Amino acid sequence: MTADQYLLKGIELLEKVRTTQAGNIQKAAQAMAASIAVGRAVHMFGSGHSVIPVLDMFPRYGSYVGFHPIMDARLQWQNVTGSGGAQELIWLERQEGYMEVVMRSHKHKLDSRDCMLLYSHSGMNAASIDLALIAKAQGLTVIAVTCGPNSAVNKPTHSSGKPLHAIADIVIDNCSPVEDAIISVDGMKGNVAASSTLTFIAITQALLAEVTTELGKQGKLPPRAFVSPNVADVPKDNNMQVFVDYDAWVESL
């Protein structure tokens, strides 16, 4: 059964992340915790399907203030074709200079004490590379979650001549194959069933767990987590307070 085959391959990929990337995850988590501990931010960005792990970090039940998603609707498809379509997104994320406009128009405040966490399976698109360069120029610690082997089979197209992993201070390999999809079906050109979302999400939640542990060691735990309303013993105003905390924190950046 190919469904079982996918799940088994997925387990293998997660085990590879666990056994080969633990040191990089810990290093990234320590840098992220250092930013949050002093009231600063872990900025996060991804385009296309790579926006999914950004959404899964915050706002997400089980997370807290300190993570700042950089979101742009034009870099997230809401349709297959036409307005908000994937075709337009794929073109836009490859255009150099667009992220400078996003950062300027949204008035995102970067500081050398911050981290920039970037997700890109290919590591070749201009959007993530431009943002990495912007962050590096302002002294941020840049963390890239990407597919390491991509750089071996694809030449950088960015004017810097660099893929994302060559710019980042810390690189976490998502351990997914270059093609991303991992199931071959007879008669079908190309594999099906993508894997990078699975590995991205696992790395994201592993980072969150490790960051929180680091903050606990430093006595810098946030006052509250964003918690599912299905948890009975959490105050009814808890999640509203998280949004209040977030707004005040963003203003302080």
Question: Partners of 143 in the beta sheet?
Answer: 117, 170
Q: How many CB atoms lie within 10 A of CB 120?
A: 29
Q: Convert the pLDDT of each residue in 187-202 to its tens digit.
A: 999 999 999 999 999 9
246: nearest Cα among 52, 45, 59, 38? 59
The DSSP code sequence of 98-160 is: HHHHHHHHTT----TT-EEEEEESSS--HHHHHHHHHHHHTTPEEEEEE-TTHHHHS---STT
Per-residue pLDDT at 250: 94
Quote the pLDDT of residue 75: 93
Query: What is the pLDDT at residue 82?
Result: 87
pLDDT tens string 99-153: 999 999 888 899 999 999 999 999 999 999 999 999 999 999 999 999 988 767 7
With both helix axes pointing from N to C terminus, report the angle between 2-20 and 22-37 in degrees, rounded to the nearest 10. 70
Domain ranges across the chain: 2-252
Mean of all residue pLDDT scores within the chain: 94
* Helix (H) or strand (E) run with residue 183 in it: strand 181-183
- CA 22, distance to chain mean position in Å, is 17
Among the listed residues 137, 43, 50, the one whose alpha carbon sits nearest the alpha carbon of residue 93:
50
Q: What SS3 state is found at 67? A: strand
Q: Is 208 helix (H, G, I), strand (E, B) or coil?
A: helix
Instruction: Give the tokens for residue 220.
Output: 């810098």
Q: What is the DSSP letter of 80?
A: S
pLDDT score recorded for residue 1: 83
CATH label, 2-252, candidates 3.40.30.160, 3.40.50.720, 2.60.120.10, 3.40.50.10490:
3.40.50.10490
Q: Which residue has the higher pLDDT, 231 or 8?
A: 8
